[in-house]
Amino acid sequence: MKRIKVMVVDDSAVVRQVLTGLLEADPAIEVLSAVADPLLAMTRMKTQWPDVIVADIEMPRMDGLTFLRKIMSERPTPVIICSTLAEKGTKTSMEALAAGAVAVITKPKLGVKQFLNDSCDDLLSAVKTASHANVKHLAVREKNSADAILPPLENHVAMIQTTERVVAIGTSTGGTQALEVVLKALPRVCPGIVIVQHMPEKFTAEFAARLDNICSISVKEAQNNDRVVPGLALIAPGGKHLLLRRRGAQYFAEVVDGPLVNRHRPSVDVLFRSVAKSAGANALGIIMTGMGDDGAAGLLEMRNAGARTIAQDEESCVVYGMPKEAVLRGAVEKTVPLNAIAREIQQQLAVTA
Catalytic residues: 172, 198, 294
Q: Is the separation of the CB atoms in 217 and 233 below 8 Å?
A: yes
Taking the C-alpha atoms of residue 282 and residue 267, their distance in angstroms, rounded to an integer, is 21
Beta-carbon contacts of 168 under 8 Å, excluding residues fewer than 6 positions away, are 193, 194, 195, 244, 271, 272, 275, 283, 284, 285, 286, 302
Instruction: Identify the three-state secondary structure at position 231.
Output: coil
Taking the C-alpha atoms of residue 195 and residue 234, their distance in angstroms, rounded to an integer, is 6
Taking the C-alpha atoms of residue 39 and residue 337, their distance in angstroms, rounded to an integer, is 36
Per residue in 143-161, is it b (16+ CB within 10 Å) or e — as a string? eeebeebbeeeeeeeeeeb
Number of C-beta neighbours around residue 205 at 10 A: 16
Taking the C-alpha atoms of residue 236 and residue 345, their distance in angstroms, rounded to an integer, is 19
Radius of gyration of the chain (CA): 20
Taking the C-alpha atoms of residue 202 and residue 218, their distance in angstroms, rounded to an integer, is 19
